[in-house]
Chain A
Amino acid sequence: MKKNYISMLLFFSLILLVACGGNEESNGSKDSSGEGEAGEVQISFSWWGDTGRHDKYNEIIDLFEAENPNIKVDRQFGGWDDYWDRLTTQVSGGNAPDVVSMHQFYVSDYARRGALHNLNEFVESGELDLSDFPESAIDSGKIDDNIYMVAKGITMPGFVYNTAVFDELGVEYPDFNWTWDNFIDKANELKEAMGDDGWAIGDLSGGQINDLRYYARQNGQDVFTEDGKLGFDAQVLTDWWEMWDQLRQDDVIPDAATSNEYEGLPLEANMFATKKVALLKLPVNQMYLYEEQMGEGEIHAVRHPHIENGGTGEYVEGAYLSITEASQHKEEAAKFIEFFTTNEEAVKIFKTEQGPPAGTEASNLVIEELTPPEQRAVEFIQETVEISEPAPYAPEGINQIETLYADNAEAIAFGQKTVEQAVEDFMNEAKSIWPE
């Protein structure tokens, strides 16, 4: 008993020893991270991504610091989910980073609640020079007439397929310009060739409301209007869900349980990478990841299916940079964004990390250094950006609408509701979120 007691005591004193050293260390690092020498400004920049991206961005920041010795950049990064949890906390906690990475999915939540700085003044004064950006790329960062974010990379979603998979199945590749009718025919053809081994494509009826958005826009409507109301009618939603329901009943797309099982799985294990489905809707800048992962064949992309003589679904998407309203150093922050998106060296490091750079010159700079799948992605983006049309930004409450949409789509898939019933439920509840 005595021995035990002594060894415990020894252990604790050891801990205490380590502890004292530790305390000093955390104190020390705090001092160095505060405001440094006179005249030196510290800004912070946060982004989401994987380790490869962290390395690239850190390299770009090092370049920026070398060129602007009076500005130090504090770097904050993490995966997608962590990024948004932390950013929300930081912004509401009054400690927002100066430069933040933004995404269409969240920008209206932040901008409409006054968390982001209106960049018009910097653009007008030329401090943020966007003259090389195509109009559509600038527009994609605007809410109403105000620029809230600058594209670091732009991208477009396409329907992608692996040539090896199609060859093996003996199915012809889809046409670049295809209609929903072509799509349904092709899907049935694929299913026939695949038999019990797989399905044509994953279920797009729920999940992201962006999928519906293309369809609504092709019908001359949209998910929401400029003035923040529901932008589509019951007919569009009924047609959309009925199309997918039919495909599901014909076993052309997976049943609800299978879709659910694969939901949220990493890229390496998802249905497309494991060849359970032959088509995938994907932001094309990620094509190369699948080509690397699947190891055989090439990944090619075709346009989103459309409606013959209908409207255009396409609109520019991408990854963006914004300055927060709480930033104390907005000018330095603008300087950083300018450097990040236009500096030759920086752009060469960036390549197509989050889609090709938005600026024409910058995008030409990187295109030669790309791998074939990356080049195909850039070509696809250049082609579809041309036909794309502006799209309004979501009003507050889009997240609730999205959940409502996903819940009802899932209820159809599991056979809990008829399409008719789900549409009715959706329409009724949507009205309480976005009053007419």
Chain B
Amino acid sequence: MEISTKHNHIVRVSKKRQKISKVFIHGFVILFGIVMLYPLLWMVASSFKNPSEIFSSVSFYPSKWTIDNYVQGWAGVSGYTFDSFFVNTLIIVTLAIIGNIIACSMAAYAFAKLEFKFKSVMFALMLLTLMLPFHVTVIPQYIMFNYLDWINTYYPLILPKFFATEGFFVFLMVQFMKGIPNELVEAAEIDGCGRIKTYWYLILPLSVPALVTTMIFTFIWTWNDFFGQLLYISDLKLFTVALGLRMFLDSAGESAWGPMFAMSTLSLIPLFIVFVFFQRYLIEGITTGGLKG
């Protein structure tokens, strides 16, 4: 009895405290959100400004709204418009995601849950591949892809992902899979699951937060990565959004800032949607805790 009232008291107090802290958290989060959003708002506002106003006026708000930048930007260059750039980029991004998720999760499963000789050597090698600045491997890589006659195709941008060349994601998944209780894995094996089935029916579903993280990052990074695309894609038919955006810029001459901002704004929309849609898997997804019980 006594214990129970004490308990109720604690709950009440902590509820009140929770209310205060919630208000505080909200206030902080909103204030902070404005700081975070400033660049986006600035860019969106600029995209509706007359190009000459973007740099000359200090005002945040366009003095005269115009959608010319969008019209002009969408028109792209020499008959190739942004809709083809968007489609091309989506193709590359989707394939890259598939590649990364399959190949990286396989490697991660091996590193996290399987025992084999030279495992730590292999793991160290994988980390090493992350430590070399890409500027010095660009040229040998280009020579290689040129030799394979892959220039001006999407192969150099996509195929490597199917071979888990992005160690970042392998390492990420390793960290998550290590957190999956071994008892679960053993239980599955006792139930007659082979290692392959365990991977497919147990490990993958339990790694959803890591897989979604991988997906979001692959989407955003591939979408934004322009250096690889710059080197390997020159045909307008194959142009991506990142390349389309770079086309507006020429540091030695006149840059089309208005259209650049307009198209940048549009190109953020898919990223934003993907993020908003999938991030809930990070929050509401399957919890290992629930399974552990």
Q: Which residues of A contact B (CB under 8 A)?
A: 1, 4-5, 8, 12, 15-16, 18-19, 21-23, 25-26, 29-30, 33, 44, 46, 48-55, 58, 74-82, 85-86, 89-90, 92-95, 264, 266-269, 273-274, 286, 289, 293, 295
Contact = CB atoms under 8 A, between A and B. Distances in A.
Interface string B173-210: 00000000000000000000000000000000100100
B97 interface: yes
Contacts of A53: 250, 253
B146 A50 contact: no
Contact of B253 (A74, A286, A295): A286
Given A54-B247, A89-B231, A95-B142, A75 B236 contact: yes
A33 B235 contact: yes
A85 B251 contact: no
Contacts of A19: 91, 94-95, 98
Given A50-B254, A51-B247, A78-B230, 10 more contacts: A4-B285, A5-B286, A18-B91, A25-B91, A26-B91, A49-B253, A51-B248, A80-B253, A82-B246, A268-B52
Contact of B249 (A18, A79, A286): A79
Given A22-B94, A51-B248, A78-B247, A289 B285 contact: no
29 contacts: A4-B208, A5-B205, A15-B97, A19-B91, A19-B94, A22-B91, A22-B92, A22-B94, A22-B95, A26-B91, A26-B154, A26-B238, A44-B234, A48-B250, A50-B248, A50-B255, A50-B256, A51-B77, A52-B254, A53-B253, A54-B77, A55-B77, A79-B246, A79-B252, A92-B143, A93-B146, A266-B257, A268-B56, A293-B52
Contact of B94 (A15, A82, A267): A15
Contacts of A286: 253
A86 B255 CA distance: 19
A66 to B, nearest CB: 15
A16 B152 contact: no
A92 B95 CA distance: 29
Nearest to B281: A4
Contacts of B262: none
A33 B151 CA distance: 10
Contacts of A58: 77-78
Interface string B152-168: 11110000000000000
A-B CB proximity, top 8 nearest: A22-B91, A93-B142, A80-B252, A76-B234, A50-B250, A58-B78, A79-B250, A268-B55
B155 A26 contact: yes
B34 to A, nearest CB: 25
Interface in B253-283: 253-257, 259, 281
B14 to A, nearest CB: 30
Main secondary structure of the interface of A (DSSP, over half): helix
Given A51-B77, A269-B55, A80 B250 contact: yes
B108 interface: no
Contacts of A25: 91
A174 B139 CA distance: 50
A289 B253 contact: yes
B234 to A, nearest CB: 4
**Most A C-beta atoms less than 10 A away, residue of B92, B97, B246, B251:** B251
B143 A93 contact: yes
B90 interface: yes
Contacts of B142: 89-90, 92-93, 95
Nearest to B244: A51
A160 to B, nearest CB: 16
A374 to B, nearest CB: 14
B138 interface: yes
A402 B290 CA distance: 64
Nearest to A34: B149
